[in-house]
Amino acid sequence: MAPKTVSLPHEPGFEEATQVFNLAAVPEPAAALTAHTIDDIRAALRYAEANGSPVRILATGHTAAAQRPMDGAVLVRTALRGEVEVDVARRVARVPAGTRWGAVVEAAVPHGLTAPHGSSPTVGVVGYLLGGGMSAYGRRFGLAANSVLAIELVTADGEAHRVDAGTDAELFWALRGGGGGFGVVTAVEIALFPASSVHTGAAFWPARHAAELLAAWRAWTLDAPDEVTTSLRVLNLPPLPGVPPALANGPVICVDGAVRCPDDDHETTASRLAAALLDPLRAIAEPVMDTWQRADPSAVLAAHMDPSDPVPVVGEHMLLGELDDGGEAAFLRVLGEGSGSPLVAAGLRQLGGAYTRPDPAGGVLNHLDARFSYAGSGVPMGPVTVEALRKHAAKVRAALSRWDTGQTVPSFVEHVEQPQGHLTPEQVAAVDQVRRRVDPAGRFRGDIAPNATALD
If you write DSSP's letter for every residue of 310-327 in order, what string do you get?
-B--EEEEEEE----HHH
- Reply yes or no on whether the pLDDT at 163 is more than 70: yes
In sequence order, the 6+-apart residues with CB closer than 8 A to the CB of 352 are: 139, 221, 224, 371
The Cα 309–Cα 300 span in angstroms is 18
pLDDT in tens, 436-455: 999 999 999 999 998 999 98
Residues 6+ apart with CB under 8 A from 147: 115, 116, 129, 141, 190, 191
Provide the pLDDT for residue 375.
97
Whether the pLDDT of residue 342 is over 70: the answer is yes
Name the band, by pLDDT with cuts 50, 70 and 90, for residue 283: very high
Where is 290: in which H helix or E strand? strand 289-290
**pLDDT reading at 172 higher than 70:** yes
Q: What are phi and psi of 150, to 5 degrees?
A: -160, 150
Instruction: Indicate the SS3 state at residue 265.
Output: helix
DSSP 62-80: TTGGGSPP-TTPEEEEE--
| pLDDT interval class at 1 (50, 70, 90) | low
* pLDDT, position 376: 96
Instruction: Determine which of 197-206, 297-306, 392-401 has the lowest per-residue pLDDT on average.
Output: 297-306
Pick the residue with more confidence: 44 or 64?
44
- Measured between alpha carbons, how far is 178 from 439 in angstroms, rounded to an integer? 14
Q: Say if residue 306's pLDDT is above 90.
A: no
| In the predicted structure, residue 2 carries a pLDDT above the cut 70 | no
Domains, the chain? 14-78 (3.30.43.10), 85-194+423-438 (3.30.465.10), 197-412 (3.40.462.20)
Burial of 355 (0-12, 13-18, 19+ CB in 10 A): buried
Helix and strand totals (H; E) in the chain: 12, 18
pLDDT band, very low/low/confident/very high, at 242 (cuts 50, 70, 90): confident
> What pLDDT is attached to residue 246?
86
pLDDT confidence of 378, banded at 50, 70, 90? very high
Neighbours of 405 (CB within 10 A): 15
Average pLDDT over the chain reads 94
Per-residue confidence (pLDDT) for residue 305, from 0 to 100: 85
Residue 205 has pLDDT above 90, yes or no: yes
φ and ψ at residue 260, rounded to 5 degrees: -80, 135
Please give the average per-residue pLDDT across 183-194, as a whole number.
97
Which of 366, 444, 449 lies closest to 57 in space, CA to CA?
Answer: 444
Judge whether residue 32 has pLDDT over 70. yes
Over residues 35-58, mean pLDDT: 96
Handedness of CA 308, 309, 310, 313 (dihedral sign): negative
Predicted confidence (pLDDT) at residue 3 exceeds the cutoff of 80: no
CA 28, CA 33: separation in Å to the nearest integer?
13
**Max Cα–Cα distance, the chain, nearest Å:** 67
